[in-house]
Amino acid sequence: MTLNEIEGWLIEEDKKTKQGFYCNWKLIKQSFEEKNFAVISVNNSAVGFITWNESELVATIDICEIKPTERGKGYLKILFTEVCAFFLTKNIVALSLECAPASSEVVWKKLGFRDFPEIPKFGINTNLGNKKLYKVLISNVYENEELIEGSETIELWNVEPHEKESIEPIWKTQISFQPNKNKLQKWIIFPCKPDWRIRWRKGNEIYKVSKVKYFQPESIEFGAFLIIKRLV
């Protein structure tokens, strides 16, 4: 019944305004069948839904809509908060999405999403498509910050290792480890591409510099993200 309700108001919206996501009905139905789908109901009537696809540690939001007659009542925030809590139970720590329509950017940023870096070479947030946003779901993460001289650091460039070294890193942070372990005190989570240059160093001593995809024996690239919990 829920899916039929949603299809009904999507059809109505499409007829009246030529907007909405009825054009993606096959994808919505597929997400429902694969259980990558959540709905919010009021008095047993569906007023909004969200679909996504997921892989290890990350998820991409595909479609999200609140019924036109029910917008502005806070239902999106409730739905999204519950979905984020569900993601955390599945160890998903980062989300991404594309703003379609473009006006949705304001709404998503109110929910804590950030811009992907402007990287024309890799086609991210250029005029080639919809603007991309991301959100980290956990708070225990390193942030981009100025480096303290002599500190142990991780630095990330949006170029390949063979390219000009004088370019400033796009992201950098000091790191520290849990006692007697190779686990970091916090996670590193940041948007990236597998061919980007990454460096681990302490002061002037370079421990390792390579492409992201070759940096560690275990995978540290998940979807559009660099995610590091420990360093070997």
- 109-152 confidence digits (pLDDT tens): 999 999 987 665 555 555 556 789 999 999 999 999 888 888 89
Q: What is the pLDDT of residue 198?
A: 95
**Residues sharing a CB contact under 8 Å with residue 173, sequence separation 6 or more, in sequence order:** 142, 143, 144, 145, 147, 153, 154, 188
Compute the distance between CA of residue 101 and CA of residue 104 in angstroms, rounded to an integer.
Answer: 6
Mean pLDDT by 10 residues, the chain (232 residues): 88 90 93 95 93 94 95 95 97 94 91 82 57 94 89 92 79 93 94 93 94 94 94 90
Q: What is the pTM of this model?
A: 0.89
Query: What SS3 class is residue 200?
Result: strand
Please give the single-letter amino acid code of residue 63.
I
Domains of the chain: 2-136 (3.40.630.30), 152-230 (no CATH)
Q: What is the pLDDT of residue 111?
A: 96
Q: What is the pLDDT of residue 87?
A: 97
